[in-house]
Amino acid sequence: MRLDAATETPHCGMAGHGAGRPRRATTATEDMLRGVWRENPVLVQTLGLCPMLAVTNSVANAMVMSVATFFVLVCSSLLVAGVKGFIPREVRISSFILIIATFVTVADMSLEALVPDIHKALGAFVPLIVVNCIILGRQEAFASKHTVGRAGLDAIGMGAGFTVAMLMMGAVRELLGSGSFLGWNVFGPSFEPWVIMILPPGGFLTLAFIHLTLTWLHQRRARRTARAALGEVAEVAVAGRAV
């Protein structure tokens, strides 16, 4: 994992759609909203792909994993922002991991008590939230450098963005792979499930098509903006010649 100096955004070796943006001051509202879409941790920054590909074979699994990750991200960001002044720089990463691991343990034990069947289906991926680079990256890039309030808003936005991506993946894979949504049959008994969609290759295929769709939409919007800008320039040039 590396830290992009231009965006204060963590990367894990793979450049996202948002790479290269110049650094600028952001408002508290932007801190929260950017993680939902413009700097979505999965769809833009391509972080947290391990749980994204492993546990999104159903909407229920995706939802529970999202809630656990959201809880850990928000709580650890608030605590890191609150105690950052007491943590020596030399041991900050170790301290962040210890804080994250504490909340992961709370989440793991809570899920085991409340939803034991889904907890069993998720397996080792709940404890592995400790090493999710979305969480550690936000502690290092944002929470450790900002106030508690802004760290909380940033964590809420990033957690919401992660949840959106997880539910998109889970919905597509469960609908096509099982013909159901949250266990309810959608397409009827005549539907032949695409079994590959609930297997690991289905996760890669679904994520690839989501990225292709988002890239196409982004390029289409960019072309539309460019055409509008050229049209305005042409109108100004015509008006100038008329004068």
Q: Which of 165, 141, 169 is nearest to 154 (CA)?
A: 141
Report how far residue 81's alpha carbon sits from residue 79's, in angstroms, rounded to the nearest whole number. Answer: 5
CB 161 within 8 A of CB 41: yes
Asked if residues 190 and 174 have their Cβ atoms less than 8 Å apart, the reply is: no
What would the mean pLDDT of 105-127 be, rounded to a whole number?
A: 94
pLDDT: which is higher, 28 or 122? 122
Look up the pTM and report it: 0.81
| Mean pLDDT taken over the chain | 86
Domains in the chain: boundaries: 2-218
Query: What pLDDT is recorded for position 188?
Result: 83
Residue 65: C-alpha distances to residues 25, 46, 56, 211 (Å): 32, 17, 9, 21
pLDDT tens digits, residue range 145-163? 999 999 999 999 999 999 9
pLDDT at 165: 94
Structure tokens at 2: 């590396």
The whole-angstrom separation of Cα 32 and Cα 29 is: 5
Q: Which residue has the higher pLDDT, 231 or 226?
A: 226
